[in-house]
């Protein structure tokens, strides 16, 4: 499905500007104003299902985002094993969620979301033709929605919506890579934009 309402364009956010900090394991990202590269080493992942599989950290370049907002970015992933991925992770008072371009068990690529409150709820979204997509997250109060698009000029497609416990005045938005089962994975980001408004129609 596509978003019937226009996406708030927002301001371009430079990757080398103030307000960013590196969180999680790994080496410092490579960044300029317009491009970011994050590399994850073996075992870097974020998932919480006690008794089955738990992983507590991914390398991410992170910053605070206040109130309602819409943020979108283009990501491409260099990874050859299941679970290799890159995308957006958001931490708040009630937990965290991530949306990413991820290598599937079958060897293809898909948009995958994980919502942790605090246990992880995982869902596979649209299949992708390759390891790249635009990802969008939008917030209105406790409600979030996620969209994606393969073509940089194409329509945004609905992925999922959910409620997050609590109504924190701000959250931390990060751009990350993960390599849960491989030696390494690299995610490259371009075109980050953020607007201080939610998408008007999130379905």
The answer on pLDDT for 102 being more than 50 is yes
pLDDT at residue 203 in the model: 65
CA–CA gap between residue 166 and residue 18 (Å, rounded) = 28
Instruction: List all residues 6 or more positions away from 178 whose beta carbon is below 8 Å from its beta carbon.
Output: 40, 44, 45, 46, 58, 83, 84, 85, 86, 100, 185
Instruction: List all residues 6 or more positions away from 78 whose beta carbon is below 8 Å from its beta carbon.
Output: 131, 185, 186, 187, 188
CA–CA gap between residue 184 and residue 187 (Å, rounded) = 10
The answer on pLDDT for 3 being more than 60 is no
**Three-class DSSP category at 202:** coil
Say what the pTM is.
0.94
Domain 11-195 has CATH 2.60.120.200: yes
Whether omega for the bond prior to residue 118 falls within 30 degrees of 0, making it cis, is: yes
Average pLDDT over residues 90-101: 92
The answer on pLDDT for 4 being more than 60 is no
pLDDT at residue 5 in the model: 62
Average pLDDT over residues 109-118: 94
Domain ranges, ordered by start, for the chain:
11-195
pLDDT at residue 202 in the model: 64
Which residue spans within 93-131 are E strands per DSSP? 95-103, 109-116, 120-128
Average pLDDT over residues 48-70: 91
Cα angle 154, 39, 15; round to 5: 60
pLDDT digits (tens, 9 = 90+) for 163-186: 987 677 899 999 999 999 999 999
The distance of Cα 126 from the centroid of its chain, to the nearest Å, equals 15
pLDDT at residue 1 in the model: 44
Rounded-to-10 torsion of CA 168, 170, 171, 174: 180
Averaged pLDDT score across all residues of the chain = 92
């Amino acid at each position: 499905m596509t978003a019937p309402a226009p996406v708030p364009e927002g301001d371009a956010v430079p990757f080398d500007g103030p307000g960013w900090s590196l969180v999680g394991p790994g080496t410092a990202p490579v960044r300029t104003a317009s491009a970011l590269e994050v590399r994850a080493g073996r075992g870097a992942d974020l998932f919480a299902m006690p008794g089955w599989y738990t992983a507590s950290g991914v390398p991410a370049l992170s910053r605070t985002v206040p109130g309602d907002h819409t943020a979108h970015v283009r990501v491409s992933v260099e990874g050859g094993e299941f679970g290799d991925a890159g995308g957006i992770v958001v931490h708040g008072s009630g937990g965290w969620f991530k949306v990413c371009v991820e290598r599937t068990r079958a060897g293809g690529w898909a948009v995958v979301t994980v919502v942790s409150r605090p246990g992880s709820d995982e869902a596979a979204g649209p299949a992708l033709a390759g390891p790249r997509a635009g990802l969008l997250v939008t917030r209105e109060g406790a409600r979030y929605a996620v969209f994606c698009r393969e073509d940089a000029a194409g329509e945004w497609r609905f992925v999922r919506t959910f409620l997050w416990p609590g109504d924190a005045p701000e959250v931390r938005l990060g751009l990350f890579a993960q390599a849960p089962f491989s030696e390494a994975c690299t995610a490259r980001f371009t075109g980050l934009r953020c607007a201080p408004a939610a998408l008007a129609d999130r379905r």
